[in-house]
Each structure stands twice: as structure tokens, then as C-alpha cells.
Amino acid sequence: MGWTRRDIVLGGLSAFATVAVQKPTFAATSSYFSGTAVDNGVTYRSTNFAKIDKKWRRQVVKYFSSEPIGTVVVDTRHHFLYLIMENKTAIRYGVGVGREGFKWYGRATIDRKSLWPRWTPPPEMRERHPELPEYVEGGSPKNPLGPRAMYLLRDGVDTGYRLHGTLEPGSIGKDASSGCIRMFNEDAIDLYQRCPIGTAVQVLPHIADQAESAAEVSQATPVE
């Protein structure tokens, strides 16, 4: 299926947004990390959740939606990602989203997944930041995708956007990326395990006001 300029504008799926971050901050604030963990033979720094606002932590919430179970819904205004589950519930993750000028909305599917993916800055980003390397190998402590990447396609065409981990836990809950959806590394690993190839993804300006009430949010159940 071909893309028209109107499709790109309306869907926000610009080819120039094939980037995971604005400019990776390789020297992340140490207070956001505590100890290390090992995943698939790679040692990485664990998130210090004692420094993280509780609302950004992974938790189960009441969630009312007409979307099928298993759908991923991203609320960009409130910086939440929901994985819809049974019995009108969802796992809610805090996320970082695109900064002004890089936000996008629409539907896609997770058609590719990668453990410890290589990150290749697109030409447009390297033009803006020539100091960036040609690529960063997966598992490198300087790789901004972290331990997992889930690639979003629409009608078989790569949107250029991903759900992935981050070098900057402090950016969760903020408009910080170039369009990709950032997650705590532990949450990216968790979501990766729960979402098979073909998982539907919907990115919206906001949905939490309709999906869950303030009372329900306050009674959310943490998920380990």
C-alpha cells in the first residue's frame, strides 16, 4: 500500500523521524541507577526506582476501552502506555514521548522485535549532530535503545518509531524523544515479553481521562 503526503501528515509518521532520541545523553545521572542486572548475557545498570515518582512505575489499573485485549495504547499527554488485559484492567507503564514538533498519533503494529538492538542514527540526525557515531552496537552502555526495541509498522511500512528502553530514566514522564516511546529498561523487557509480533498499537493525544478515574489510579496495584 502506497503512502501519500496526506497520510504522512495526518498520521504523523514522517520518514524524517526515524530516530529514537533527540541527542543521546551518554553520561546519564547516576542517581537514577542502582546496582546492575544481567539480561541475555549483557550486564546493565538497574533503575533506582526509589528515585522515581510512583505514578511512573509499572502497575495494574482499571481500564475501560473498546480496544481488544492485548492492544497497546499510548497516552502521550499523560505519558502512559497501557497494555489492555482482561476484566477491564490494563498494565500501565510510565513513558517518555516525543518533544514538541516530533509528536505523532495513529495506529501501527509491532511487526519486529529485537533484543539488545543495534542503534544506527539516521542521516538527518547525524547532519544535526556530526559527533554521533555511525552506529552503536547492541548491549553497549551508550546504546540509547536499551535492552529491547519493538518496531512499529503500518500497512507493512516502517513508521520509523519504536517502543524501547532508555539511557535516561529521568526522561520518563516527559516530552523528550524524537517521536519514539521510551520506557524504563525493566519495563521495556517486561512489555517485550508480553507483546507478540502483530500486536496492535494505538498512539493518542490522550486517553487516561476516559480510561481510568483518579480514584482508580490512586488504588493502582504495582506489578513486579
**Residue 206 is among the residues annotated as catalytic for this protein:** no
Q: Residues 78, 79, 129, 164: which is the catalytic one? A: 164
Domain boundaries, the chain: 5-222
pTM: 0.80
**Residue 195 is among the residues annotated as catalytic for this protein:** no
CATH 2.40.440.10 fits 5-222, yes or no: yes
Per-residue pLDDT of the chain (224 residues; tens, 9 = 90+): 443 333 433 343 333 333 444 444 434 467 899 999 999 999 999 999 999 999 999 999 999 988 999 999 999 999 999 999 999 999 999 999 966 545 677 999 999 999 999 998 878 778 878 898 889 999 999 999 999 999 999 999 998 889 999 999 999 999 887 668 999 999 999 999 999 999 999 998 766 555 664 334 434 555 54
DSSP string, the chain: ----HHHHHHHT--GGG--S-SS--SS--GGGEEEEEEETTEEEEEE-GGGS-GGGS-EEEE---SSPTT-EEEETTTTEEEEEETTTEEEEEEEEEE-TT----EEEEEEEEEES--B---HHHHHH-TTS-S-B-TT-TT-TTTTEEEEEEETTEEEEEEEE--S-GGGTTSEEESS-EEE-HHHHHHHHHH--TTEEEEEES--HHHHS-HHHHHT-EE--
Q: Residues 78, 79, 180, 195: which is the catalytic one? A: 180
